[in-house]
Structure 1
Amino acid sequence: MAISEETFFLENRFEGTLQSQIQQMVAEGILSGRFRPGEKMPSSRKLAKHLGVSRLTVTLAYNELISDDYLTSHGRSGYFISQSAPPPPEFSAGHSRDSVDWSRAIGRRFSGARLVEKPVDWEAFPYPFVYGQADPTLFDQQNWRLCALQALGRKDFSSLTADYAERDDPKLVEFIARHTLPRRGILARPEEILITIGAQNALWLAAQILLTQRRTAAYENPCYPGLREILTQARCHLAPIPVDDDGLPPDLLPDETDVVFTTPSHQCPTSTTMSLKRRQTLLERARERDFLVVEDDYEFEMSFLTKASPALKSLDEDGRVIYVGSFSKSLFPGLRLGYLVGSAPFIQEARALRSSVLRHIPGHTQRTTAYFLSHGHYDALVRRIRNALHERRELMDQEIRKHGLSIAGRASFGGSSFWMSTGPGIDVDDLTTRLKARGVLIEPGTPFFETADEGREYFRLAYSSIPLAKIPKGIAILAEEMGR
């Protein structure tokens, strides 16, 4: 790699000759690790022109650096960092002294949240029962690549380069309106749909618009940890509602509730499904008490045990439900592509807020996804994933029963994980550590609950990424560590 001459600047306060200053700049670059052996230096002519000095000055500096074995000359090819140049120190060099008292300067803190941690190298573990990761053996990389190339074509130049700001890719919005939403019983016009950076961004937008410090947000306990952090940041009044085997109980909602956040089709993380009767009751309460409902309808595509229940939004006759959907689970998490569906006045505000924060979702990402969906590749992928998950779930269920392990939450239509109970006397954090040492990854339940103590007897066991052949041995190790 060539080092640009633009990385060099003369210092007016430097005490010494221009030649010695150039030598010092190069030496410091090598000793700090910025310049590495084999990299090409700028030519003496280019560096002299950039610094405003004579070429002879640069040449003399380079020659001194060659004699000190910092640089080497390769004839007509130019100057290069020497392979035997002094190596940088093992410690990282500091850039400047930080004299700011950050404990006082930081007005609001966002770190320290209890979130589900996934090892970066989870694929290196032989038994990764981790949730939400893409399985490379199932994903259609070839057709995704073709769609990405198509989106790069001249025909789609404007979709790739345009500043969308106040709008989204019309092809993607059209597909969601005409194909995705009707499968959930939802009819929506383009002005009622907003593309987001995944479901979490959609939930954040909804919370920012609907909540104030005087309003109350009710949400499930346990719940998606990212949602709890979003609501905490909104500085609203919080009302965690304990879920049961039928999901969120509407009768437990406090009278002062302004917005309810729920996962009725596939409760996170217990996997339970809210019954049709309870959904109707929730909508009746919303009408009677004049509150709104934000429905996170993730993983509805993974319905292989029974047909997925209608979305809560499809039963909504008053415009009180705001619907959150995502392609991150069904395609791959790194895509970060979701959508909000709601009444036009709400979407108008969400679009304005999105524009002020991140302007719009990258055009190439939207158009590539639109092609992947409209060409039929998405439906084929979902069928393939659904069949694979069904097979893995049956084997998981068989092995779990074989070893006498306890399932705490039963998904009625499918999904990609089991919500498990350790039983009394087993701390899930200690169990997680012991299993990791043996190559088994599970997700402890503590981050999902309002308080960590509530979740010490629960964990999530996912099967979206673990190969079928690895499941029996992984469950056997789990049962052994649990004393079963």
Structure 2
Amino acid sequence: MHIPPEAFFLPPATTGTLQQRIRGMVTQGILAGRFRAGQKMPSSRGLAAHLGISRITVTLAYGDLVASDYLTSRGRSGYFVSDNAPRAAEFPDAPPRHDGVDFAGLTGRRFSSLARVERPQDWEAYPYPFIYGQADAVLFDHQNWRQCALRALGRRDFAALTSDYYEQDDPLLIEQVLRTILPRRGIAAREDEVLLTLGAQNALWMAATVLLGPGKRAVVENPGYPGWRGILATTGATVVPVDVDDGGLPEHLPGADVVFTTASHQCPTNATMPVERRVALLAAAAREGFVIVEDDYEFEMSFLKPVAPALKSLDQGGRVIYAGSFSKSMFPGLRLGYLVGPASFIAEARGLRAMVLRHPPGHIQRTVAYFLAQGHYDALINRMRAAFKRRRQVMAEAIATEGLAVAGQGGVGGSSFWMRAPEGVDTEALALALRAEGVLIEPGRAFFDPVAAPGNFYRLAYSSIGPQRIPEGIARIGRALR
């Protein structure tokens, strides 16, 4: 039985080369059971004419499918679906499903009900996306990243790509973190004092899980990183929010077992903790016996003046656990971060990690290691700093022109402004209204202690919007507020 050319079509929204799309059509048809073993494929000439593409493209796709054993070639007879082609499992039709368990009541919605910053999945479709943490394709070094990824996929790196490291990490990446990343923060560490994680969120969860439990107390910044509340809720510890000022956390803190801070770029106000206050915080930790978890998530984006030394670099007593990430300096989809701390703490965190994920994917680790070793990372950071400095200047001028109120912008750089709308403005409603204008902002309520969270704050980021679009986007925000 012949498969007619009309059984194939190229949806306009699909991605990939024509050859890849043809391969996808054939393999999906075989796996779905529409095309059966022994059926004859359309001739390359006939399928090319039907799809309106070059015959050589179809011929190359067919040849690739033969190599993968989806098709077989029979001399002058043409191409046929191979008897050895993969087949989808066949199951009887599933009976109608009735959800008989009230999982919302069973779980108490402990995690799904936590406040979070809402962002539309299709944020790239909006012309004015002032949302935080997303990458700009214009700035990223696609060519060198691709070369590093291809090298990591090569035969010489087959073991790094495919091996189970068990509880360990790629030694090449650990070496680069020790030599390239940590020294620029003034941190000296050994191999047994570093653990790779699936991003900073995963690093903070592991630190909190290892250090806290029922009966313990954790101090967090208010406003602060929204993910902390969800992380700490799983530990059973008492969470104590402390209001920040222009220097971040104040010097005098309530009693705590663990203090969480974003000292370099306070989230979301962008305040930088003065060195004197950092020294005082470390002295208090030694005196009162608490541990500090330092989330240093945006230290690379310091372009207005030199960044202050990390808390960890000033730590002489081993009381600071340092969490870093490549999400903001490279791209968030990378999901790669690290913890730095005393070897005894890292050993415990490594044991926890082994229970849930073993280690981050080997190919990702090796690709990042090459990207760092060949200097591409530093070149990328320099390009991003220059671009962000320009965008920040344009945004500051636009904000001043519109008369909008800045609640926090920091003094060393970063990638966002922390804003305050007039009293009585609900920025969650404002954000919804602005979406109709093509503008995305981040309401600020999720950053505050939910017991008394003001509704008139919001965040404007410039990491994923070009300078040419910033003035008009800010103007639309100004008009909406007026």
Q: Which residue identity lines up with residue 263 of structure 1 in the other structure?
A: T
Q: Which residue of 1 aligns with 2:198?
A: 197
Contact 2:409–2:416 under 8 Å retained in 1: no
Give SS of 2:278's match.
Answer: helix
Runs of 4 or more off by more than 2 Å in structure 1? 34-45, 75-79, 93-109, 452-455
When residues 406 and 452 of structure 1 are mapped into structure 2, their CA distance, relative to the original with a 3 A threshold, is farther
Q: CA separation of 1:436/1:453 partners in 2, compared to 1, >3 Å: closer, same or farther?
A: farther
Tell me the equivalent position of 2:119.
118
Cα deviation, residue 227, structure 1:
1.4
Partner of residue 212, structure 2: 211
Counterpart of 1:122, as a letter, is W
Partners of 2:136 and 2:95 lie apart in 1 by 40
Letter in 2 for 1:172: L
SS of 1:241's equivalent in the other structure is strand
Q: Provide Cα deviations, 1:366-421, integer angstroms capped at 9, x if missing partner.
A: 00000001100000000001100000000100111111111001211000000000
Contact kept, 8 Å, 2:37 with 2:80, in 1: the verdict is no
8 Å contact 1:446–1:453 — kept in the other structure? no
Matched-pair contact (CA < 8 Å) for 1:40–1:78: no
**Secondary structure, aligned partner of 2:299:** coil
Q: Which has the larger radius of gyration?
A: 1
Identity of aligned residues (%): 56
Q: Does 1:332 align with 2:331?
A: yes
Deviation at residue 152 of structure 1 after TM alignment: 0.9
Amino acid at match of 1:276: V
Question: Per-residue displacement from partner, 1:31-72 (whole Å, max 9, x unpaired)?
Answer: xxx989996344489xxxxxxxxxxxxxxxxxxxxxxxxxxx
Please say if residues 269 and 417 of structure 2, whose CA atoms lie closer than 8 Å, have aligned partners that are also in contact. Answer: yes
**1:235-274 to 2 correspondence within 5 Å?**
235-251=236-252, 253-255=253-255, 257-274=256-273
Shift of 1:312: 0.4
- Aligned counterparts, 1:242-391, within 5 A: 242-251=243-252, 253-255=253-255, 257-391=256-390
Deviations 1:413-447 (A, max 9, x none): 00000000002132111211111110010000011
Which letter does structure 2 place at the counterpart of 1:241? V
Amino acid at match of 2:232: L
Rounded to whole Å, the distance in 1 between the matches of 2:451 and 2:29 is 47
Residue 154 of structure 2 is matched in structure 1 by 153
Instruction: Give the 3 Å change call, closer, same or farther, for CA 37–152 of structure 1 in structure 2.
Output: closer
Compute the displacement of 1:241 (Å).
Answer: 0.6
Structure 1 residues 78 and 138, CA, compared in 2 at 3 Å: closer, same or farther? closer
2:143 is matched by which residue type in structure 1?
Answer: Q
User: C-alpha distance in 2, partners of 1:173/1:148?
Assistant: 17
**Matches of 1:107 and 1:451, distance apart in 2:** 18
Matched position secondary structure for 1:459: strand
Cα separation, 2, equivalents of 1:310 and 1:78: 64
- Could you give the per-residue CA deviations for residues 82-127 of structure 1, whole angstroms, max 9, x where no partner exists? xxxxxxxxxxx97523323434543773211110111111111011
Instruction: Encode CA deviations 1:329-383: one digit per residue, 9 max, x unaligned.
Output: 1000000000000000000000110011111111000000000011000000000
* Cα shift at 1:482: 1.0
CA contact (8 A) 2:203 2:338 kept: yes
The answer for the alignment partner of 1:401 in structure 2 is 400
SS at the partner of 1:468? coil
Q: Which amino acid aligns with 1:289?
A: E
Instruction: Report the residue type matching 1:387 in the other structure.
Output: A
1:473 is matched with: 472
1: CA distance, partners of 2:358 / 2:292 = 26
**Hey, what does 1:227 align to over in structure 2?**
228
CA distance in structure 1 between the aligned counterparts of 2:31 and 2:171, rounded to whole angstroms: 49
- Decide whether the 8 Å contact of 1:448 with 1:455 is kept in 2: no
For residues 266-285 of structure 1, the C-alpha deviation after alignment (integer angstroms, 9 at most, x for no partner) is: 00001010011111111011
Matched residues in 2 for 1:244 and 1:42: separation?
69
Q: Which runs of 5+ in 2 are unaligned?
A: 1-27, 40-77, 83-93
Which deviates more from structure 2 when the two are superposed, residues 348-357 or residues 421-430? 421-430
How far apart in 2 are the matches of 1:191 and 1:290? Answer: 24
1:214-267, Cα deviation, whole Å (9 max, x unpaired): 11011101111111110111110111111111100131x222x00000000000
Distance (Å, rounded) in 1 between the aligned partners of 2:206 and 2:159: 27
Number of residue pairs the alignment of both structures matches: 408
Match of 2:144 in 1: 143
The separation in 1 between residues aligned to 2:201 and 2:397, in whole angstroms, is 34
Aligned AA (1:128): P
Q: What one-letter code is carried by the residue in structure 2 that aligns with 1:433? A: L
Q: Is the 8 A contact 1:422 1:457 kept in 2?
A: yes
Instruction: Name the TM-score, length of structure 2 as normaliser.
Output: 0.81
- Tell me the distance in 2 between the aligned counterparts of 1:482 and 1:108: 35
Question: C-alpha distance in 2, partners of 1:258/1:37?
Answer: 56
**3-state SS, counterpart of residue 395 of structure 2:** helix
Say whether residues 1:131 and 2:132 are aligned partners. yes
1:381-460 alignment, distance < 5 Å: 381-451=380-450, 454-460=453-459
Counterpart CA distance in 1 for 2:280 and 2:172 is 36
Secondary structure, aligned partner of 1:461: strand
Give SS of 2:300's match: coil
Structure 1 residue 452 displacement after superposition: 7.2
Alpha-carbon distance between aligned partners in 1 of 2:244 and 2:275, rounded to the nearest angstrom: 16
Q: Structure 1 CA distance, aligned partners of 2:325 and 2:156?
A: 27
The answer to whether the 8 Å contact 2:427/2:456 transfers is: yes
Tell me: CA distance 1:447–1:164, structure 2 relative to 1, closer, same or farther (3 Å).
Answer: same
CA contact (8 A) 1:223 1:269 kept: yes
Deviation at residue 168 of structure 1 after TM alignment: 0.5
The amino acid that maps onto 2:386 is N
Contact 2:203 2:323 in 1 (8 A): yes
Q: Which runs of 5+ in 1 are unaligned?
A: 1-33, 46-74, 80-92
CA distance in 2, matches of 1:397, 1:191: 44
Q: Which has the larger displacement, 135-144 or 34-43?
A: 34-43
- 1:273-311, Cα deviation, whole Å (9 max, x unpaired): 001111111101101100000000011111111111000
**Secondary structure of the residue that 1:139 maps to in structure 2?**
coil
Q: TM-score by structure 1 length? A: 0.81
Whether contact under 8 Å (1:286, 1:320) holds in the other structure is yes
Distance 2:365 2:451 in 1: 38
